[in-house]
Amino acid sequence: MATFRRFNPDDVHRISKCNLDPLTETYELSFYLQYHAKWPSLFQVCEDANGNIIGYIMGKLESSPEVYKVSEHYLPWHAHITALTVAPEARRLGIGKILTEQLESAADAGNAWFVDLFVRKSNARAIAFYERLGYSVFRVVKDYYGDHATDPFAQSEDAYDMRKPMKRDKKLQHIRENGAIFEVDASDVW
């Protein structure tokens, strides 16, 4: 039986099992604690019956700085999934879906226009997972990742910026068809 709850600071030393996946970004301890302090409702964990953390999601609510409001790359108030990962032995049990739905619920409660995330173009499983949950590619961010997950000789990898509209976006103005043909530089992303 799995239990879902908010992340607490003691968990920072217990999530490493989930971070063993080469497609999971790992951050410094202070980064996790900053998310806990600023956006506690958007940082959830899943524990197994033995108290092991077998999945987590961390996100934030934000908009682009006001100075960029006239830019074509300005992002209005939205939620962002910074990390979602499930330990290998707990995959295909619906944990990632539940964690994502919890973050989306918090995004709606925070009156966000949409939820977005970045995923490596080579991560076909994650892309298919997010598409099943209603996310679509909004744009390609060129050279977003400083390494490549599947090609050791490549210097970087592009990311898909994927989005899902929230209840506030009744006119679906923050998603688009054929998002994979729209490319931006990593410097255009805040």
Q: What is the mean pLDDT of residues 130-135?
A: 97
CB 61 within 8 A of CB 105: no
Identify which has the larger pLDDT, 107 or 188.
Answer: 107
Q: Is the dihedral of CA 150, 151, 154, 155 positive or negative?
A: positive
Give pLDDT tens digits for 140-178: 999 888 776 667 777 888 999 999 999 999 999 889 999
Give 64-75 pLDDT, tens digit per residue.
666 556 656 567
Band of the pLDDT at 15, cuts 50, 70, 90? confident
**Stretch 108-126: mean pLDDT:** 93
Number of H helices, E strands in the chain: 3, 8
**99 close to 109: Cβ distance less than 8 angstroms:** no
Determine the pLDDT at residue 73: 59
**Which one has a higher pLDDT value, 98 or 24?**
98
Instruction: Name the percent of the chain lying above pLDDT 90.
Output: 64
pLDDT at 56 over 80: yes
How many CB atoms are closer than 10 A to CB 154? 13
CATH numbers and ranges of domains, the chain: 3-188 (3.40.630.30)
